[in-house]
Amino acid sequence: MNIVVIGIGLIGGSFAKDAKAVHPGATIVGIDKNESHVTEALELKIIDEGGDYDALESADIVFVSIPVDALLVELPKILDAVGDETVVIDAGSTKAHICQAVSNHPKRRNFMACHPIAGTEFSGPSAAILGLYEGKTNIICEVEKTAFKLQERALELFQKLKMRIRYMNPVAHDKHIAYVSHLSHISSFMLGKTVIEKEKNERDIFDMAGSGFESTVRLAKSSPDMWTPIFEQNRENVVETLQEYIQNLEGFKQLLLDEDFENVHKAMSDTNRIKQILKGIPLTKI
Amino acid sequence: MNIVVIGIGLIGGSFAKDAKAVHPGATIVGIDKNESHVTEALELKIIDEGGDYDALESADIVFVSIPVDALLVELPKILDAVGDETVVIDAGSTKAHICQAVSNHPKRRNFMACHPIAGTEFSGPSAAILGLYEGKTNIICEVEKTAFKLQERALELFQKLKMRIRYMNPVAHDKHIAYVSHLSHISSFMLGKTVIEKEKNERDIFDMAGSGFESTVRLAKSSPDMWTPIFEQNRENVVETLQEYIQNLEGFKQLLLDEDFENVHKAMSDTNRIKQILKGIPLTKI
């Protein structure tokens, strides 16, 4: 089996490792506009060889894990270059613009729009993790637009990687993901910003911060290169979630100003049921 | 050595476990207004026996880990009951009101105001962890008001538990801790609230949420009974941090509305240095 991974960072590198683990005989070709990523991935034995789009025609599976702004530009070119029997899977965190960008492409049937909900706050080939996708959800959009035989090949691989599959339309995907992923990143980045601005003397943060703070600002370590285009493509949904979040924070602040501690308690109690909801989330055990 | 732990939850129970580990010969008496906590702590062998304030007179060390509103009421009574050679250590997440509450107590010298920055989002004796305090920061306020010999006894124990000691005045403690702890909890609770409200169909949260969401809403599992009085006592500082946080979120929202993605990128890049700051935080490895 010939597998090509375009963009060999955390997501692509982990996919390469996992794919190799379930298909030891496969050849994994890595393509990255950053040459040092290719070199690093070769050294780490994440890929078997480097390559360019010429490698796409004979590929069985192409996995594209690049920032979503690059996806809009590259995906049509990738589809131009693949063979009739190639399935192209993306891993973009937004889906509406991406599905739109290739909706009229003559090889639309070779594309499967995916969003594997997996990752960490780190990036680059060295951040790749074997088993990253195990138990994780993979959201597939517009599955009916992918050729049946190619769907089958992709789904077989996802099954071997032990992913949970969910089908959704791209507009619904972008709306929901704004709440459970994009908003978390903004809340974390702005929390980090607030504390850094106030605590000019970083010693104080260092000494007083505990694991709770670390947990809530963990996502503020994420890559701005990856996240800026996500916020750009999902701007309307993100602004809406942000508005609601700010309203809830304002409401909580008002309760404090009013010294209405009964309702402060109630606001927290009502949210405590997140415990039950979270129990179902498959986490990366690292 | 006689050690009394008042409030046998996560914090008190972990302290009891750690104290026993470094002083195997010590007798640990547990006191809790919730009788089931005493029973559970006995079953889990976290404490050697249950007791009441009569046990305080002969205690060498009393560790008080109860919600901060209860601390204001109980701490003077505890000091009334202890012997001249007893050191009373609290673990309250606020310090100004607590130090104030006992500032004129005739046994003020028997009290050491502490805030060990340790914990998880769980509570109760079953949440107690051996080694919770290892490498964690313990902030001690108004150390000069504690009798020298009693300071020494407490510090010797903290050293055995491998805690890092920092001295701070109670007003500065409350101001800084609002940023690195209290605000994180509100940001997390309100994030949970925003998502729960929107996603009435919890299946969607369950399926689409990843480890990033779990990390940012982890603190929303925290106990409202513990946190309401913390927010009450540190209300002014918390409102101020919340105001700054909301302003930063509003600023980010405005950048999105203006489609100013260069500054969206910059806001995230500037905050990325939280990585370096976080490297210094000792985390609970669980």
Of A125-134, A277-286, B56-65, B186-195, least confident by mean pLDDT is A277-286
CA–CA gap between residue A50 and residue A28 (Å, rounded): 9
Last residue of a domain, one of A139, A172, A205: A172
The pair of structure tokens assigned to A8 is: 């060999």
- A157 and A242 together in one domain: no
- A124 and A259 together in one domain: no
Nearest chain A Cα distance for residue B216, angstroms: 4
**3-class DSSP state of A48:** coil
**Confidence (pTM):** 0.90
Please, which pLDDT band fits residue B280 given cuts at 50, 70 and 90? low
- B135 and B197 together in one domain: no
What pLDDT is attached to residue B146? 98
Contact B224 A181 (CB under 8 A): no
Last residue of a domain, one of A103, A137, A172: A172
Chain A interface includes B253 (CB < 8 A): yes
State the count of interchain CB pairs (< 8 A) between A and B: 313
**3-class DSSP state of A75:** helix
Assess if residue A33 is contained within a domain. Answer: yes
What pLDDT is attached to residue B184? 95
- A238 and A263 together in one domain: yes
- A181 and A209 together in one domain: yes
DSSP run (H or E) holding A89 = strand A87-90
- A192 and A158 together in one domain: no
What pLDDT is attached to residue B203? 66
- B8 and B134 together in one domain: yes
Last residue of a domain, one of A172, A203, A235: A172
- A183 and A259 together in one domain: yes
Residue numbers in A near B281 (CB within 8 A):
206, 209-211, 213-214
CATH number reported for the structural domain that contains residue A138 in this entry: 3.40.50.720
- A57 and A161 together in one domain: yes
- Number of domains present in the structure of chain A: 2
Per residue in A100-132, pLDDT (tens digit) is 999 999 999 999 999 999 988 888 999 999 999
Print the domain residue range for A239: 176-278
- B32 and B114 together in one domain: yes
What pLDDT is attached to residue A202? 62
* Mean pLDDT of all residues in B18-30: 97
Per residue in A47-56, pLDDT (tens digit) is 999 999 999 9
Q: What is the ipTM of this complex?
A: 0.91
Residue numbers in A near B195 (CB within 8 A):
179-180, 183
* Mean pLDDT of all residues in A52-69: 97
Asked whether B123 and B114 are in contact (CB, 8 A), the reply is: no
Above 80 in pLDDT, residue A206? no
- A155 and A274 together in one domain: no
Assess if residue A283 is contained within a domain. Answer: no
CB contacts under 8 A, A 192-231 vs B, are: 192-199, 202, 204-222, 224-225, 227-229, 231
What pLDDT is attached to residue A144? 97
- A28 and A131 together in one domain: yes
* Mean pLDDT of all residues in B6-20: 97
What pLDDT is attached to residue A193? 93
CATH number reported for the structural domain that contains residue A206 in this entry: 1.10.3660.10
